[in-house]
Every structure is written in structure tokens, then in C-alpha cells.
Chains A and B, each alone.
Chain A
Amino acid sequence: RKEVEQDPGPFNVPEGATVAFNCTYSNSASQSFFWYRQDCRKEPKLLMSVYSSGNEDGRFTAQLNRASQYISLLIRDSKLSDSATYLCVVRETGANNLFFGTGTRLTVIP
């Protein structure tokens, strides 16, 4: 059973491009949703939480569709520093741990 599924990529985009990542989760009782960023051989770092109404943080926009069990992340005006693996992360209702997707690798090209 794959709790959280992501397209592994890689996504190679030029600087300034807009790129979108998608994620699906299997448990409809999932309660909390996050996007984390992981640089090579480093720890996951919280990029943003994902709220039901959708939320934006600068160039990053996250959307949640509970009916379809689908989460997205949109990055506008990509920077070289955005190159990383983006992890879709879900916490189920009543659970105290996180389920991670395998991550989507993004490379922003000059």
C-alpha cells in the first residue's frame, strides 16, 4: 500500500519558469498535509503546511482537494536555489507520525 504517491521526476526547468508538483494520498482520514523540501543528503525542511482553502507563501502556492485526495505545489518564477527534492507529507487522523512520498526532484537550470 502506498500511502503517498508522487511523480519522482526529475523536473528540469529554466530559471523563471513555473512548475507544478502533484501528490495523491490513499487514506481519506488524513488530516494534515505538508510540503517539505530536501536537499541532497540533508534533512527534510518544512516548506509549507497545506490548508483546505489553499495557501500561498511568496512564490509558492499549495492546494488541497480532499474529495480527490490530491495535493499540489506550484512554484512561480523558479530560482536556481529552488533545486531540491520536494516531499509530499501527510499525517493521518489520530496518528502521531508522518507519511512521506518518495519526493519529486526539481532542477532549475540557468
Chain B
Amino acid sequence: EPEVTQTPSHQVTQMGQEVILRCVPISNHLYFYWYRQILGQKVEFLVSFYNNEISEKSEIFDDQFSVERPDGSNFTLKIRSTKLEDSAMYFCASRTTGVGNYGYTFGSGTRLTVV
């Protein structure tokens, strides 16, 4: 079964440092997403990406965040200057196009710990 791959599985960084989280979406999917889940809380939407540009973003996705699809396979989330409150599980997701109740496939996540 095709899967979304995320690296690293766990990242520890010092406050104020930049981090890049990496994702390889499913190859024939066209929509890509980043979500985060703070420990014990619900999964929250950060940003969606389609046709090489951001299609939607949430209030969480401020100027400290950026996304990029540098080549045909990778999709990255950069946090420029990490804060303690950025500590969370970050999930990448992708889906195919089309209408209907299509599900999103999530990667296994990157656990980001800011110290």
C-alpha cells in the first residue's frame, strides 16, 4: 500500500533554531498538507499546497513557517526560529484529486521537541 514518508521521526532542537521537516507524499497525489498535534490535543491544520503554491493556511501558519516542494518528490516544512510551543507531532498528508469522500493519507509524523 502506498505511503507518505516523513523524516526525521524525531528532532530535538534548541529554541531559536531553524528546523526543516521532510515529507515524500504518495507519488500520484496532487494535494499536500501539514498538520500538527500538540501532546494530548487534537490534530490541527497548518497548510495545504497544490500546484506549487499554498492553497490554504491556518492562523497557526505565521511568518515563521514556510513550505516548499523543491523537487518532484519532496515536500518540506520549515520553521525559521523555533519556540517552545512549537513542540508537537507534525504530520504530512497527501491526497489525490477528484470529487467525493476521498481520504487523506498521513505520514507517521515527526516528533519535534524544542528545548
Contacts and interface: CB of A to CB of B under 8 A. Distances in A.
B42 A102 contact: yes
Interface string B90-115: 01000000001111111111010000
B42 A46 contact: no
B104 A96 contact: no
A8 to B, nearest CB: 10
A50 B106 CA distance: 18
B65 interface: no
Given A49-B101, A51-B101, A44 B48 contact: no
Interface in A82-104: 87, 95-103
Interface residues of A, number: 22
Query: What is the predominant secondary structure among interface residues of chain A facing chain B?
Result: strand
B41 interface: yes
B45 A98 contact: yes
B91 A44 contact: yes
Nearest to A43: B106
Interface of A: 32-34, 41-46, 49-51, 87, 95-103
Given A41-B111, A97-B56, 14 more contacts: A32-B100, A42-B108, A42-B109, A43-B108, A43-B109, A46-B103, A46-B105, A87-B43, A96-B55, A96-B56, A97-B58, A100-B44, A101-B42, A102-B41
